[in-house]
Structure 1
Amino acid sequence: MDSGTDERGGWAIARRWAVDLAMLAAVGLLMGFLAPFASERLPAVGRYLHWMICMVGGGLIGIAVDALLARLAASGWRRVLAVSLVMTPPVTLLVLVVQHLLAGGPLSWPGFWVLLWQVWPISLALMAVRALVWRRRDARVETRTIIAPPLPEAEAVFRRRLSARRRAARLIAVEAHDHYLKVHTDAGAELITLRFADALGELASAHGWRVHRSWWVAADAVETVRWRRGAGELSLAGGLAAPVSRTYAPVLKEAGWF
């Protein structure tokens, strides 16, 4: 293993410990503020010290137990429950000792058994919070719509109607003008004699859309789409603008432009 991998692994471990300790300290401060189980009888400093020791120390015990059980059980709520059950006796002993040192509480077995049932719910909640912090998030999959250029044969029949100069040019749009069509390309526009319906048939396999009763546009020529007051407009390559009618707007919406 190279030194770069060692550094990344060491950083990940240090970060995990830092997050765990910060989480345990935050819970300790919260418990000190709430002062449950009659801990409000302690002075403020003693109360916060009591809960910080119990929560951080108990949490570290739980983390150690979780590391041991990780070899036997996969992560999940069953392991959280098992960890809380296993960690409760030693954490109860820790709490009993802390109470004795800070408040003069008795060290006795009856006191241990009473504390046991108070410690277990807190241990369960603490390990559940930690499990939520470190839960494995689902992998995020991003998708992107990619407009692929059309196959050469998809426009071949239509292109043969153009002059030699524009036959190999980039097709931008086809605009109907009475009995003529104005074909817009990146090599300029050209008028041809053809019905719009026939042009649509020849371009049926090409990558483009009919967006108006008199307009067909190539998909890869669309730059922006605007919709205002019930009418749309396409900005196409070369500074060309094409209208979009309500009838044909759904094809653009399906393609992700709205």
Structure 2
Amino acid sequence: MDGKAMGQAGEVARRWSIDIAMLVAIGLLMGFLGPFASERLPFVGRYAYWMICMVGGGLIGVVADDLLRRRMAKTWPRVALVSVLMTPPVSLLVLATEHFLIGGPFGWRSYARLLWQVWPILLAVLVVRTLAWRRLPGRIETRTVIAPPLPEAEAAFRQRLSAKRRGARLIAIEAHDHYLKVHTDAGEELITLRFADALQELARAHGWRVHRSWWVAADAVEGVRWRRGAGEVRLVGGLMTPVSRTYASTLKEAGWF
């Protein structure tokens, strides 16, 4: 199995682990609350009943949702449709669990009654799962190798720095009104210069503008994270800079995500 396949398998295992953990948590909560007169059951039987129903029924809904996602991209209409389609088989699971675990009746009348009880619970579980996945970090982080900058490409800009930092490694430039904060591996320094003029002097240097007030040196980038339309760059020394949607394409073309 190559690295890409192993990565995909790991992501699938991660998603299943999180889904099962969420369903187990919901099952434990339902066992504690004891709705639909289940509080009358013995302690162990009550929790066993809800764990089977919530984990088993929830996994049926999860599989259906994942399969339908390929044909139906819109989230909430798909969740509503899955909850309706999965109610009959999940109700059958609940009916069988009641019959074999606590000796409940196994017939059409009981089945019809369960349909109206199972559907809102199944819908609620799918909604909770969808909201949970939206809040979980969905980040992309990659790394690429950048050639060192040419000395002459930064020469004009470096002349503006103090002797202590003129030969230091350039990490990033941050705009502050009419001043620039220059980040180097020898510390920070404020200089009087417009951001636009600094960008012009560094036009041939290995670096990118990643935000309206940030420029970063390419060889100083250690990682890029992108989430929900915004991102951040991790630079050497632990410095973090924002990435705006406007300049994200530059990093994308460089292979960072």
TM above 0.5, yes or no, is yes
For 2:47, give the aligned amino acid.
Y
TM-score by length of 1: 0.55
Is this contact kept in 2: 1:32–1:48, CA < 8 A?
yes
- Residues 96-118 of structure 1 deviation map (CA, whole Å, 9 limit, x = unaligned): 11111122111111111111111
Is this contact kept in 2: 1:171–1:186, CA < 8 A?
no
How much has 1:132 moved relative to structure 2?
1.5
Is this contact kept in 2: 1:171–1:218, CA < 8 A?
no
Distance 2:92 2:67 in 1: 20
SS in 1 for 2:5: helix
2:35 corresponds to? 36
Distance 1:219 1:210 in 2: 10
For 2:42, give the aligned amino acid.
P
- Residues 51-107 of structure 1 deviation map (CA, whole Å, 9 limit, x = unaligned): 000001101111221133123201411111111111111111111111111221111
For 1:21, give the aligned amino acid.
I
Matched, 1:92 2:102: no
1:109 corresponds to? 108
1:23 corresponds to? 22
Unaligned runs of 5+ in 2: 141-152, 165-174, 193-212, 215-257
Instruction: Say how many residue pairs are matched.
Output: 171
Cα distance change of structure 1 residues 139 and 61 upon mapping to structure 2, 3 Å threshold: closer
1:197 corresponds to? none
Is this contact kept in 1: 2:181–2:191, CA < 8 A?
no
Unaligned runs of 5+ in 1: 141-148, 153-168, 173-184, 188-207, 212-216, 226-233, 237-254
TM-score by length of 2: 0.56
2:133 corresponds to? 134
SS in 2 for 1:74: coil
How much has 1:135 moved relative to structure 2?
2.5
1:123 corresponds to? 122
Structure of greater Rg? 1
Is this contact kept in 2: 1:84–1:127, CA < 8 A?
yes
Superposed, 1:137-216 pairs within 5 Å as: 170-171=159-160, 186=163
- Structure 1 outlier segments of 4+, above 3 Å: 136-140, 149-152, 169-172, 208-211, 217-221
- Residues 214-242 of structure 1 deviation map (CA, whole Å, 9 limit, x = unaligned): xxx88659x769xxxxxxxx799xxxxxx
Distance 2:177 2:70 in 1: 61
Matched, 1:72 2:65: no
For 2:128, give the aligned amino acid.
V
1:7 corresponds to? 6
Superposed, 1:232-243 pairs within 5 Å as: none
Is this contact kept in 2: 1:31–1:51, CA < 8 A?
yes
SS in 1 for 2:134: coil
Distance 2:129 2:3 in 1: 29
Is this contact kept in 2: 1:224–1:235, CA < 8 A?
no
